Amino acid sequence: MASNRRVLPGFGLALGFTWIYLSLIVLIPLGAMILKTTQMSWGEFWSIITSPRAVASYRLTFGASFVAAVINAVFGLLVAWVLVRVPFPGKRLVDALVDLPFALPTAVAGITLTALLSANGWIGKPLAEMGIRVAFTPLGIAVALVFIGLPFVVRTVQPVLLDLDREIEEAAASLGASRWKTFWRVILPPILPAAITGFALAFARAVGEYGSVVFIAGNMPMRTEITPLLIITRLEEYDYAGATALGVAMLGVSLVLLLIINLLQTHTRPRAAA
């Protein structure tokens, strides 16, 4: 491929433009934020990111994201299975609809879920009569996060399931395994890495999510305030140091999650190809 440099044109131009554009749009702005935290002492930084209000927001953000990602892992596997293995009319339509959360603006998802789940909404009303409140509680936040993370597990598991060789299942059955045992011992192991990758993607997306959550969250400090909202609150109070420290903390979490997802994907790919 190195010889391409002599054959194909445009290497210098393409790579130069790529690095300059990447620096201007992504690297310099992110770098400036990190630089700003170096203006404060380590003690200041630490006291901001470990303040009780911040810690309460992490607990909520990570807790709700985890619950939502678990729900998405279970139902994502189910939906992927149904799309690949169970014949039913209108499959293409359902398959296309799964990507709706990627295409629908988060603000629309936010106001709609709030309207549906508030005490006089279509779903919220019967639930309220049973004594369950969803909107403006952590439960509502989890529901919004299930919505925005819904496609991830389906889309990571679906291709692996399509590639799965049915002859192995036949072999398992002919050796006397029950269908249930075949699922646990033969089908699940190869699709599990893909499901875990999907889970991680859904979790990472949920941790940073803002648009679909603010409407349904209630946004009470210490109770229903997610970390991204706390950053905005600090910014609106002109507490730039507070917003910056929390922003850097969130960036650190995103980077760690990105690293984990990259590792997961390099581990899944060879298996998926095999």
Partner 1 sequence: MASAVVTLTRAAAANVATDDPRWVRVLLLAAAFGFLSLFLVLPLVAVFCHAFSAGVRAYISAITERDAAAALKLTLLVAAIALPLNVAFGIAAAWAIAHFDFRGKSLLTTLIDLPFSVSPVVSGLVFVLLFGARGLLGPWLTGHGIRIIFAVPGIVLATIFVTFPFVARELIPLMRAQGSAEEQAALTLGASPLKMFLRVTLPKIKWGLLHGVVLCNARAMGEFGAVSVVSGHIRGRTNTLPLHVEVLHSEYQSQAAFAVATLLTLLALVTLVLKTFIERKSHIR
Residues 16-35 that bind partner 1 (CB under 8 A): 17-19, 21-22, 25-30, 32-33, 35
The interface region with partner 1, picked from 50-58, 124-132, 134-142, 226-234 by CB under 8 A, is 226-234
Question: Is residue 240 at the binding interface for partner 1, with CB under 8 A as the rule?
Answer: yes
| Residue with smaller CB distance to partner 1, 36 or 271 | 36
Site residue total, partner 1 (CB under 8 A): 97
Candidates 151, 150, 148, 142; CA nearest to 216 is 142
Question: Is residue 265 at the binding interface for partner 1, with CB under 8 A as the rule?
Answer: no
Question: Is residue 257 at the binding interface for partner 1, with CB under 8 A as the rule?
Answer: yes
CA distances from 60 to 41, 85, 213, 221, 232 (A): 27, 37, 12, 11, 16
In this chain, which of 136, 147, 152, 199 binds partner 1, going by CB under 8 A? 147
What residue has token string 């509680």? 137
Rounded CA separation 56/24 (Å): 35
Question: Is residue 198 at the binding interface for partner 1, with CB under 8 A as the rule?
Answer: no
Rounded CA separation 217/116 (Å): 14
| Residue with smaller CB distance to partner 1, 15 or 119 | 15
Question: Is residue 260 at the binding interface for partner 1, with CB under 8 A as the rule?
Answer: no
b/e code 138-168 from CB counts within 10 Å (16+ = b): bbbbbbbbbbbbbbbbbbbbbebbeebeeee
Question: Is residue 46 at the binding interface for partner 1, with CB under 8 A as the rule?
Answer: no
What count of residues does the chain have? Answer: 274
Question: Is residue 65 at the binding interface for partner 1, with CB under 8 A as the rule?
Answer: no
| Residue with smaller CB distance to partner 1, 36 or 133 | 36
Question: Is residue 207 at the binding interface for partner 1, with CB under 8 A as the rule?
Answer: yes
Paired tokens of 61: 């953000």
| Residue with smaller CB distance to partner 1, 10 or 131 | 10
In this chain, which of 43, 103, 129, 131 binds partner 1, going by CB under 8 A? 103
Residues 107-146 that bind partner 1 (CB under 8 A): 107-113, 115-116, 122-123, 146
In this chain, which of 40, 56, 70, 82 binds partner 1, going by CB under 8 A? 82
Rounded CA separation 72/147 (Å): 9
Q: Is 41 left (phi over 0), alpha (psi -120 to 50) or beta?
A: beta
Question: Is residue 238 at the binding interface for partner 1, with CB under 8 A as the rule?
Answer: yes
Paired tokens of 80: 């992927």
Give the list of residues 6+ apart from residue 7 with CB closer than 8 angstroms, or none: none
| Residue with smaller CB distance to partner 1, 7 or 130 | 7
In the three-class reduction of DSSP (H, G, I as helix; E, B as strand; rest coil), residue 165 is classed as coil
Candidates 147, 159, 272; CA nearest to 216 is 147
Question: Is residue 43 at the binding interface for partner 1, with CB under 8 A as the rule?
Answer: no
Question: Is residue 75 at the binding interface for partner 1, with CB under 8 A as the rule?
Answer: yes
CA-based end-to-end distance of the chain: 26
| Least Cβ distance, residue 7 to partner 1 (angstroms) | 5
